[in-house]
A and B are shown apart, each in its own frame.
Chain A
Amino acid sequence: MATFIAIPILSALMILQSGVISRIPLLQGTPDLLMLFILAWTMQKRVQTAWQWCIIGALIFGLVSALPIGTPLLGYALATAAALFLRKQLWQVPILAMLVSVLVGTLISHVISLLALRLVGNPIPIPQALNLITLPSAFLNLIFAIPAFAMMGDLAKWLYPETLEV
């Protein structure tokens, strides 16, 4: 259930991302809703399906985007791994872990995208990419991180109700 529900949720987020969010950039940067919600899901303490969400999200992203094949999967996988690591390190302050993992995840996915584009013969100038895309995207991702974390928290509570010991 926790895995299959990712398909409609992440598909809806992709529609929102490509239909609305990508049309209103800050400079050239846009928030990555899929990555945000995957990381927010990963940060929930009872969640054990982070990798499934990561793969489903990356496949949906790859279907829509013209990025080289495998780029979203690699970027999201590394971002999820970083988030899982941070969840263990900062387990007492999950919201801080969320913000740090969003920042790290944005940097990782953008570096992977830039490297992949360079490999296929589309070298994008790094300073311009940093100033115009990565920094504004990271800023927007951090803004959206808290509501995403709260929403995924509610979903996790619904899917993984706490058991009461009598």
Chain B
Amino acid sequence: MNTPSDRPRSLQTVIFILIAVGLIALALGGFLTPLSRILLSPMVAVQTWVATRFQAVQDIVSAPQDTTRLRQRNAELEAEVAQLQTQIIELQEQLAETNVLSALVDFARANPENRYQGAAVIARDPSPFLQYVIINRGSDNGLRRGMPVVTQQGLIGRIAAVTAGAARVQLITDPASTVNVRLEPSGAQAVLQGQITGEILLDMIPQEANVQPGDLVLTSGLGGGYPADILIGQVSSIRSRDQDIFQRASVQTVLDFSRINIVLVIVNFKPIDITPLLPTPIAP
């Protein structure tokens, strides 16, 4: 049973509920929006200010942790970059090697009359007076002394000595190297000689031969030391004097002899030793 003192409370409760329901109804009807905007705007401003300041303080407090984490991340990324750069270099090297091998295969296909053995250049002669390279194929791979060595860009030299697993190649730039050559289109015969400077010179070009800069220099096959028609280079300049018996010329090779990495040995060519056929002076 309600006491008199309980009645006002019940009335207050009913009034509050009615007010609440009324406010909800007004809010749902959108009639309180201007009022809420007026009330909330300063609150939002204050909240924003407090949140910004709190964020700043939090940044200051947590900065060392972030720096450490960033440094770790930076180190990880730097290591990753270094690894990727190494991979790029390796891939570039593989690409360059593939290009060289592809060119050598093309060369071998274009000259099907020959059989080839590929080899890598692993060393140069330690004496600066000699122009020799050492390749990583030897008699176990069918290589023999005297076999010509080429690349897709032309003649390199010939094998001077062979062991089971390696061979020494005398380059055509060696001062002791001589190659019988033919000039095109004139057809003149000449002798190619290596020089101590690493260049190659043409000698014994007949005076009547019409040789021009740009003429092609090919092996002639004379003497039996090299097969015919292997490209060596182009005539770059000619020295012709009336009092000389022969003309001389310098040759520009396509190949950079200081950067030979992979070569082909022509294994089906057998050099001919014509020394016994050369005339010898008869003793009186």
- Contact, CB under 8 Å: B258 / A125: no
Segment among B39-47, B91-99, B104-112, B127-135 that sits at the interface with chain A: B127-135
- Contact, CB under 8 Å: A23 / B130: no
- Contact, CB under 8 Å: B129 / A23: no
Determine whether B170 belongs to the interface, using a CB cutoff of 8 Å to chain A. yes
- Contact, CB under 8 Å: B124 / A132: no
- B176's partner among A29, A30, A61, A122 (CB-CB below 8 A) is A122
Determine whether B122 belongs to the interface, using a CB cutoff of 8 Å to chain A. yes
Q: Which residue of A has the minimal Cβ distance to B166? A: A64
- Complex formed: what's the CA distance from A8 to B25 in Å? 99
Determine whether A104 belongs to the interface, using a CB cutoff of 8 Å to chain B. no
Task: List, in ascending order, chain B residues with CB within 8 A of A67's CB.
Answer: 127, 129-130
- Contact, CB under 8 Å: B124 / A22: yes
Which of B126, B132, B197: most chain A Cβ within 10 A?
B126
- Contact, CB under 8 Å: B175 / A64: no
Which of B160, B197, B198: most chain A Cβ within 10 A?
B197
Find residues 124-158 in chain B having any chain A CB closer than 8 Å to their own CB.
Answer: 124-130, 132, 134
- Contact, CB under 8 Å: B126 / A22: yes
Mask, A44-75, CB within 8 Å of B = 1, is 00000000000000000100111100000000
Chain B nearest CB, measured from A155 CB (Å):
22
Task: List, in ascending order, chain A residues with CB within 8 A of B248's CB.
Answer: none
What class of interface size applies to chain A in its complex with B? Answer: 20 to 34
Task: List, in ascending order, chain A residues with CB within 8 A of B132's CB.
Answer: 65-66
Task: List, in ascending order, chain A residues with CB within 8 A of B126's CB.
Answer: 14, 17-18, 22, 30, 32, 34, 61, 64-65
Q: Which residue of A has the minimal Cβ distance to B160? A: A66
Task: List, in ascending order, chain A residues with CB within 8 A of B122's CB.
Answer: 19
- B125's partner among A22, A34, A129, A137 (CB-CB below 8 A) is A22
- Complex formed: what's the CA distance from A15 to B134 in Å? 12
- A30's partner among B128, B161, B170 (CB-CB below 8 A) is B128
- Complex formed: what's the CA distance from A122 to B197 in Å? 15
- A114's partner among B129, B198, B258 (CB-CB below 8 A) is B129
- A19's partner among B123, B175, B197 (CB-CB below 8 A) is B123
Mask, A117-139, CB within 8 Å of B = 1, is 10001101100110011000100
- Contact, CB under 8 Å: A25 / B130: no
- Complex formed: what's the CA distance from A122 to B122 in Å? 25
Mask, A11-46, CB within 8 Å of B = 1, is 000110111001101001110101000000000000
- Contact, CB under 8 Å: B196 / A132: yes
Chain B nearest CB, measured from A78 CB (Å):
16
Which secondary structure dominates where chain A touches chain B? helix
- Complex formed: what's the CA distance from A114 to B175 in Å? 12
Mask, B182-196, CB within 8 Å of A = 1, is 000000000000001
Q: Which residue of A has the minimal Cβ distance to B130? A: A66
Chain B nearest CB, measured from A124 CB (Å):
5
- Contact, CB under 8 Å: A65 / B123: no
- B123's partner among A22, A117, A122 (CB-CB below 8 A) is A22
- Contact, CB under 8 Å: A66 / B127: yes
Q: Which residue of B has the minimal Cβ distance to A129? A: B196
- Contact, CB under 8 Å: B176 / A128: no
- Complex formed: what's the CA distance from A129 to B129 in Å? 8
Task: List, in ascending order, chain B residues with CB within 8 A of A64's CB.
Answer: 123, 125-126, 134
The 4 A-B pairs at the shortest CB distance, nearest first, are namely A18-B123, A22-B124, A122-B176, A17-B126
The chain B residues found within 8 Å of chain A, CB to CB, are 122-130, 132, 134, 160-161, 168, 170, 175-176, 196-198, 258
Instruction: List 20 interface pairs A-B (beta carbons < 8 Å), by A numbering.
Output: A18-B124, A18-B134, A19-B124, A22-B125, A23-B258, A25-B128, A30-B128, A32-B126, A64-B125, A65-B130, A66-B125, A66-B168, A67-B127, A67-B129, A110-B129, A114-B129, A117-B176, A128-B197, A129-B129, A137-B128
The chain A residues found within 8 Å of chain B, CB to CB, are 14-15, 17-19, 22-23, 25, 28-30, 32, 34, 61, 64-67, 110, 113-114, 117, 121-122, 124-125, 128-129, 132-133, 137
